[in-house]
Structure formats: structure tokens, C-alpha cells
Amino acid sequence: MVSYKIGTVIGYYPTSGLMAVDLTADLYIHDKIIIKNQDSIIKEIKIEYENVECGRKGETVVINADFPVAIGDELVRT
């Protein structure tokens, strides 16, 4: 299976379990991603506090963070 970078973490909010991501490719709910060799499934995507079905290349979105991440970590779609 081909994996490719879809974004970079620009913010992490541990108390709410969320991260902000600058997207370099489209991202959809239920996509499987990898950050720092850990798998995660996208459960929600928010743009300016509104739930959306997808984030588009070039947008900044907020998604669920199932484990701690660091600013600068890359998201990879599998």
C-alpha cells in the first residue's frame, strides 16, 4: 500500500485530545493515518469550530489526537 504525507501538526491540545494540522492533501473522516509510527483513524474534522466531512489541501483543520503528538510531526495516509 502506498503511503504519502498529508499534513504537518501545528498545534496540540492534550486536555481536549485534539491537534491542529496544515494539510498538504485532502483528508476525510474515517481515513487511517500514521503519526510517529502510531496508527489513528480520523473521527472528526473541524474547521473554525464547525464539524466537516473533509479538509482540503491548503486548509488548517483540527482533528482527534489519540496519543501525544509534537508540533512538526508529519501525518501520513496509509
**pLDDT, tens digit only, all 78 positions of the chain:** 688 999 999 999 999 999 999 999 999 999 999 999 999 999 999 999 999 999 999 999 999 999 999 999 999 998
- C-alpha pair distances (Å), 31 with each of 4, 15, 18: 13, 23, 16
d(CA 33, CA 45): 13
The number of domains in the chain is 1
Its domain, for residue 66, covers: 4-77
- C-alpha pair distances (Å), 70 with each of 35, 37, 53: 10, 13, 25
3-state secondary structure of 13: strand
User: Is this structure's pTM higher than 0.95?
Assistant: no
Asked whether 9 and 63 are in contact (CB, 8 A), the reply is no
